[in-house]
Amino acid sequence: MSGLSLATSADLLKGGAHGPVIVAGKPDDSPLYRMISGDKPKMPANANPLTASDTASVAAWIRDGAKWPDGLQLGAEVWWSLRPLRKPQPPQGASPIDAFIQAERSKRELRPSPPADRASLIRRLTFDLHGLPPAWEEIRAFVSDPAPDAYQLLVDRLLASPRYGERWARHWLDVVHYGESHGYDKDKPRRNAWHYRDYVIRSFNQDKPYTRFVEEQLAGDYLWPDSAEALIATGFIAAGPWDFVGHAELRENTIDKNITRNLDRDDMVMTAMSSFTSITAHCARCHNHKFDPIPQEDYYKLQAVFAGVDRADRPFDRDPKVFAERRALLARRRDVMSQLRPLREKAAAVSSTELTALDAMLRDIKDDFNETRKRELQPIIAKMNAERKALADSLVDPVVQGEINRLNAELRPIDAAIAKLPKPEMVYSAATFFDPQGTFTYAILPRPIHVLQRGSVENPGKAVSVGALSLVSTLNSVFGIDDQQPEGARRAALARWITSPDNMLTWRSIVNRVWQSHFGTGLVDSANDFGRMGALPSHPELLDWLAVDFRDSGGSLKRLHKQIVMSAVYRQSSANNAANAAIDGDNRYLWRMNRTRLDAESVRDATLVVSGRIDLTMGGPAVEQFYFKDDHSPVYDYTRFDVDSAAARRRSIYRFLVRSAPDPFMDRLDCPDSSLITGKRNTTITAIQALALLNNPFMVRQAEHLSARLRERATNIHGQVQWLYRYALGRDPKPAEVARLAAYANANGIENAARAMLNSNEFLFVD
Amino acid sequence: MTRRDFLWNCGGGLGGVALAQMLSGATHHPPKAKRVVQLFMSGAASQCDTFDYKPLLIQKNGEKFDPGGKVELFQSTPGVVMKSPWGWKRYGQCGKWMSDLVPHLGGCSDDIAFVHSMMSKSNVHGPATFMQNSGFVLPGFPAMGSWVSYGLGSLNQNLPAFIVLPDKRGFAPNGPGNWSAGFLPAAHQGTLIRASDPNPIFDLFPPKDARFINSRSEAEAWSLLRDMNRDHLQSREGDSRLEARIASYEMAARLQLSAPEVLNIDGESEATKKLYGLDQPVTEDFGRNCLVARRLLERGVRFVQVWSGADNGFPRRNWDSHENIARDHLQMGTGMDKPAAALIKDLKSRGMLNDTIVFWTTEFGRMPCSQGSKGRDHNPFAFTVWLAGGGIKGGVSCGSSDEWSYKAAEHPVYCYDVHATVLHLLGLDHTRLTYRYNGIDRRLTDVHGNVIRDLLA
């Protein structure tokens, strides 16, 4: 029944892969009827069979000629996320956000909570926008600021700080599953990936219009070829895992090589679609999407977008003149290399009985090779290799060899000119030309893409052209791009499809992500799935209002943040209210602010701020908070890391993210696996997590640094305890609190008191 | 969010207050087994040198390997047919043929059910190792142990539900990614225990150089923290996460007491230590891990994963014997055979084999033809896994490979069917153990899997 759809009359008549499923007038000859009837009906699979009266109805309908009502389309009701955008009129109220929220609360007799006090508010806002706690002096100043617009000034100040970009870049890196090693077996580090992380930070700090942000990440190298920044942005395409062995060690045209490439493009499609449109297109790799209107062919149209790119290090120059020269030279080099490759393959494929015999001898010697016989065997192997080369060269067709020599000669001046340029920087990004690494090499032309039956590379079906999802009915989903056009045109077309004002998914997706990061829960509580398996929006009108407002005002994220954090709903107290809780225990309708546990990065960064050890240097290569030893499979050992070294003091966004070996400390605080697309983090509470916070050498050492800082502030224990509360919790302690902690510190030292404080709920949660 | 998800996110994990009780009725049908120990042979253990006896390889030794059709190998061009360097004998009442590399397991043949028709969807170590662990060739999916932890929780509030004992020589391909909880809550991640390391569990105790911490400061810190957190909770009633954090420190304190006890094997008898081969260097490391596994299972850990073999580097430290099967499989096989057999015998003598599944697996098999002249290349088309214990029929072989041990012939299966079978024995329906992630109700078995009825007692 594969490929069968029963949505329209035409679909029904077409039938499935095995032909028509209905023979009008003859139920017993109709495969459809046979599938659903009998003692053990095959369909529906994995569900209860239809009732006898249902199957009888189907039989009667077929007997009567299987007539389909004109124009009827089953499942035609348009799913909420696919309806075109319009801007709803907000109800009367202070601000549109508050008015929409209040309207839903009123319907349920929920009463809003009073505003949070200023001390809570500055702590909430600073963690939210910076991922860091406010300094004690900042808290004091804000709490006592008489200005009526004190809060707005605080918001503006925080949004203008570079700490904002560092915080919000982390949210985006979760979504795109950015990591700094390949993952899988032989998990090699990606030492040049960090440029993309810095690009995301810069983009947020510059408040880059969202359209530009999207387009750069998918096709910056093509759309803005002069801009190094736009090339770096394509690190997005390369962000996910990559199977080194599959790409670099398998031979061309083997099944596993094709599987590797198919899964690699799948990752690109999945990342692009879930990040920008919150649609699970990748569910249509093996069959039509089971829940959303995504035919398998649409999915492979998206694979065709990425059919010409791989993930590799790519050179760039900050000097525009050098960059332009390099690009011109590399384009010529690519042209020559692309002519050379088939000729070299031809030359390498020569064979003769002598050559085969020589290869067998070489293999035997290599089998016997070991450390003790190294000195004896190495010269023999070298000599035989030389003989082999001479013999193989003599077998190559002279015409082929002549062409190779000519092209090699063409290559020399190009290579010489490249060598004269200043040394470039490298970024791990989307790449269409790079030096081969084992059997891993670039695609001369985009690779042909076929619909794969059941997702199997061994069953290629129809060839597909470049395009996107037909479910966005307002846009053309076929791009009309062929091999004659540059590869980048494919990605640019997808980028423009996504950023079109008429792509309703894009705008709903991003405003929902931003809302989720401020409140802990999105208006749609499935940030990466706006399909039928996802959640319904709690406030559909607010979502659409925000989406259109954001789109039509230039796609400024900072403006959106400000709208949200200035709202009364955001500024509410997080305190409980039994009457409200009885109606809406999950706080879906936002009768209070959500209390949140700090995420892993915020715990680590806040600890460094409180201990006074944080180093706020921005950007650059990732800091390795482990012992590294390169090997067949490299070793990343977190237990052999000096937690007092400079690398430990940087903000967590600058940590080197190893896919196969994530930092166990961060892991336990729910830092997600960087191989996973993470639309929303889990927040768990476990004993293993408690032990990490108590005993991890980093935490223990920071408790000591914090104590040293307290001693600088006060010589007596009471004073030290007071400052401990101010630094860690941003408030003065009550007398009983001072007494309790001072008693403990007197008996056990201020270090232990500091350590306990860093484990307290009040430190780890934000009201 | 299902009830199960909710419980796990709020105070689940280790023990999780009264959670174990709340979940104890959560199986889908009455279980035959309560716990699992998975022995994972990293690097691809050869089926045709251990459990999959093929007289044809002896007969045609040294002749051209011609099974019909194109033979596509991972690294090499196919060499000649190569018989196993080990001889073969029949064992037990079932008369199972097994090689001289695994004589101790031969002694357990009547307890073991073999599956000889396993296939893998990848011929590459990384993806294939992921597949055997999580059912997917991609990183980021929950391991089988994580699913079992999610489905059943722990039988012991003081120990994690899913524990991993790696090979002393290092991690297998994919590293700790192999026991990732993926998108499941972090509590279901495999907890790494390095049994012979002076510091076997990360952060179980304060670092030794933190001199300001002593037993008195520790004891008082627990109660201080509890008091501080209770005060904080007073004005924030109704937030179960705050209560769960208070409880999590109580559980952490219990783990500090229970973990050293379970890892300390001094109290085991000399006979037991000898049974596991702790007296011989070749079996000592895997033997220690198998013995610790038994102690963990005894104390209610649901799922223990024991690794034989590290990464695919040189000199060989796992089963990936491309160069020399006689040399490298001898080392790995001898190191594994006696301890694995000891584990079965020991569980049996303690009456635990009835409700404990022993599951021996690897990422794929090896070719019946030679690579170079002495090694074997990867074989994703046929390999062997076996199970013993709770609910498993002993002394049977399900499915078979062809006469070469080259491709699965009768009843070919992927890991999905074995995973479905193990879950079934634990009382879980593999189609109903699901978790919603990015719009899909994810399962250990993806959209596949049939319980292998022939394996069931």
pTM: 0.88
**Structural domains for chain B:** 3-455 (3.40.720)
B residues 129..188 contacting A (CB < 8 A): 129-130, 137-140, 160, 170-171, 173-177, 180, 182-183, 185-187
For residues B419 and B455, what is the distance between their CA atoms, to the nearest angstrom? 12
Closest CA–CA distance from residue A685 to any residue of chain B (Å): 6
| More confident call, A389 vs A79 | A79
| pLDDT at site A71 | 64
Given an 8 Å threshold on Cβ–Cβ distance, is A531 in contact with B439? yes
Closest CA–CA distance from residue B211 to any residue of chain A (Å): 10
What burial class does residue B3 get, using C-beta atoms within 10 Å of its C-beta: 0-12 exposed, 13-18 middle, 19+ buried? Answer: exposed
Neighbours of A338 (CB within 10 A): 15
Instruction: Name the 3-class secondary structure at A697.
Output: helix
Per-residue pLDDT of A695-716, as tens digits, reads 999 999 999 999 999 999 999 9
Q: Which of A369, A593, A686 to mutate to test the interface with B (most CBs of B within 10 A)?
A: A686
Tracing tokens 């596993």 back to the chain, one arrives at A256
Judged against a pLDDT cut of 50, whether residue B17 lies above it is answered with: no
For residues A427 and A358, what is the distance between their CA atoms, to the nearest angstrom? 42
| More confident call, B16 vs B120 | B120
Given an 8 Å threshold on Cβ–Cβ distance, is A675 in contact with B139? yes
The two tokens of residue A597 are 């546990």
Given an 8 Å threshold on Cβ–Cβ distance, is B233 in contact with A761? yes
For chain B, say whether A615 makes contact (Cβ under 8 Å): no
How many alpha carbons lie under 13 Å from residue B81 in its C-beta half-sphere?
A: 19
Query: Taking residues B367-371, what's their average pLDDT?
Result: 95
| pLDDT at site A367 | 67
Residue A80: CB partners within 8 Å, gap ≥ 6?
A530, A536, A537, A540
CA distances from A257 to A245, B100, B248 (A): 9, 36, 47
Query: Taking residues A367-386, what's their average pLDDT?
Result: 79
For chain B, say whether A690 makes contact (Cβ under 8 Å): yes
| pLDDT at site A174 | 97
Residue A391: CB partners within 8 Å, gap ≥ 6?
A352, A354, A355, A358
Judged against a pLDDT cut of 90, whether residue A127 lies above it is answered with: yes
Given an 8 Å threshold on Cβ–Cβ distance, is A673 in contact with B228? no
- In A, which residues are within 8 Å of B202 by CB distance? 639, 664-665, 692, 696
Given an 8 Å threshold on Cβ–Cβ distance, is B217 in contact with A673? no
Q: Is the dihedral of CA B246, B250, B252, B253 positive or negative?
A: positive
How many alpha carbons lie under 13 Å from residue B396 in its C-beta half-sphere?
A: 15
How many alpha carbons lie under 13 Å from residue B298 in its C-beta half-sphere?
A: 17
The rounded mean pLDDT for chain A is: 93
Judged against a pLDDT cut of 80, whether residue A364 lies above it is answered with: no
| pLDDT at site B25 | 46
For chain B, say whether A759 makes contact (Cβ under 8 Å): yes
Nearest to B416 by CA among B365, B388, B452: B452
Closest CA–CA distance from residue A485 to any residue of chain B (Å): 33
- In A, which residues are within 8 Å of B199 by CB distance? 639
A residues 337..376 contacting B (CB < 8 A): 363-364, 366-367
Judged against a pLDDT cut of 80, whether residue B220 lies above it is answered with: yes
Query: Taking residues A36-41, what's their average pLDDT?
Result: 82
| pLDDT at site A72 | 65
B residues 323..342 contacting A (CB < 8 A): 323-324
Question: How would you write A31-84 as a 3-class SS string?
Answer: HHHHHHCCCCCCCCCCCCCCCHHHHHHHHHHHHCCCCCCCCCCCCCCCCHHHCC
For residues A533 and A436, what is the distance between their CA atoms, to the nearest angstrom? 42
Lowest mean pLDDT among A343-347, A381-385, B21-25: B21-25
The rounded mean pLDDT for chain B is: 92
- In B, which residues are within 8 Å of A749 by CB distance? 212, 217
Tracing tokens 């088309």 back to the chain, one arrives at B381
Angle B15-B17-B20 from CA coordinates, rounded to 5°: 55
Given an 8 Å threshold on Cβ–Cβ distance, is A675 in contact with B138? yes
Per-residue pLDDT of A184-228, as tens digits, reads 888 999 999 999 999 999 999 999 999 999 999 999 999 999 999
For chain A, say whether B15 makes contact (Cβ under 8 Å): yes
Q: Which of A688, A700, A706, A760 to mutate to test the interface with B (most CBs of B within 10 A)?
A: A688
| pLDDT at site B24 | 44
Phi, psi for residue A740 in degrees, rounded to 5: -65, -50
Phi, psi for residue B135 in degrees, rounded to 5: 85, -5
| pLDDT at site A56 | 84
% of chain B beyond a pLDDT of 90: 81
- In A, which residues are within 8 Å of B130 by CB distance? 184
Instruction: Name the 3-class secondary structure at B388.
Output: strand
Residue A529: CB partners within 8 Å, gap ≥ 6?
A274, A278, A279, A280, A535, A679, B438, B439
| pLDDT at site B147 | 97
Query: Taking residues B356-366, what's their average pLDDT?
Result: 98
Query: Taking residues B210-223, what's their average pLDDT?
Result: 95
Judged against a pLDDT cut of 50, whether residue A734 lies above it is answered with: yes
Instruction: Please state the separation of Cα A724 from the chain's center in Å.
Output: 38
| pLDDT at site B5 | 53
The two tokens of residue B340 are 């694995």
Confidence of residue B14 (pLDDT cuts 50, 70, 90): very low
Task: Report CA dihedral (A61, A65, A71, A74) to the nearest 10 degrees.
Answer: 30
Confidence of residue A447 (pLDDT cuts 50, 70, 90): very high
| pLDDT at site A75 | 63
Minimum Cα–Cα distance from B200: chain A residue: A639
Judged against a pLDDT cut of 50, whether residue A1 lies above it is answered with: no
For chain B, say whether A667 makes contact (Cβ under 8 Å): yes
For chain A, say whether B448 makes contact (Cβ under 8 Å): no
Query: Taking residues A462-485, what's their average pLDDT?
Result: 94
Closest CA–CA distance from residue A447 to any residue of chain B (Å): 22
| pLDDT at site A513 | 98
Lowest mean pLDDT among A397-401, A608-612, B39-43: A397-401
% of chain A beyond a pLDDT of 90: 78
Nearest to B357 by CA among B418, B316, B278: B418
**Is the CB of residue B165 less than 8 Å from the CB of residue B191?**
no
B residues 245..264 contacting A (CB < 8 A): 245-246, 248-249, 251-252, 254-256
| More confident call, A299 vs B439 | A299
Judged against a pLDDT cut of 80, whether residue A70 lies above it is answered with: no
Confidence of residue B435 (pLDDT cuts 50, 70, 90): very high
For residues A754 and A759, what is the distance between their CA atoms, to the nearest angstrom? 9
Query: Taking residues A358-372, what's their average pLDDT?
Result: 75
Q: Which of A177, A576, A767 sits opposite B237 (nearest CB)?
A: A576
Query: Taking residues A631-646, what's their average pLDDT?
Result: 92
Q: What ipTM, to 2 d.p.? A: 0.86
Minimum Cα–Cα distance from B240: chain A residue: A685
Minimum Cα–Cα distance from B248: chain A residue: A687
| More confident call, A65 vs B452 | B452
Per-residue pLDDT of B155-175, as tens digits, reads 888 899 999 999 999 999 999
Given an 8 Å threshold on Cβ–Cβ distance, is A187 in contact with B374? no
Confidence of residue A20 (pLDDT cuts 50, 70, 90): confident
Closest CA–CA distance from residue A439 to any residue of chain B (Å): 12
Q: Which of A183, A250, A697 sits opposite B139 (nearest CB)?
A: A183
For residues A162 and B256, what is the distance between their CA atoms, to the nearest angstrom? 42
% of chain B beyond a pLDDT of 70: 95
Judged against a pLDDT cut of 90, whether residue A47 lies above it is answered with: no
Q: Which of A256, A291, A748 sits opposite B122 (nearest CB)?
A: A256
The two tokens of residue A571 are 């500024």
Q: Helix axis angle, A735-748 relative to A750-757, nearest 10°?
A: 130
Judged against a pLDDT cut of 90, whether residue B237 lies above it is answered with: no
| pLDDT at site B13 | 42
Given an 8 Å threshold on Cβ–Cβ distance, is A533 in contact with B440? yes
- In A, which residues are within 8 Å of B307 by CB distance? none
Judged against a pLDDT cut of 60, whether residue B11 lies above it is answered with: no
Query: Taking residues B358-385, what's their average pLDDT?
Result: 96
Per-residue pLDDT of B254-282, as tens digits, reads 999 999 999 999 999 999 999 999 999 99
Lowest mean pLDDT among A93-102, A147-156, B150-159, B326-335: B150-159
% of chain A beyond a pLDDT of 70: 98
- In A, which residues are within 8 Å of B246 by CB distance? 761
Minimum Cα–Cα distance from A528: chain B residue: B438
**Is the CB of residue A302 less than 8 Å from the CB of residue A272?**
yes
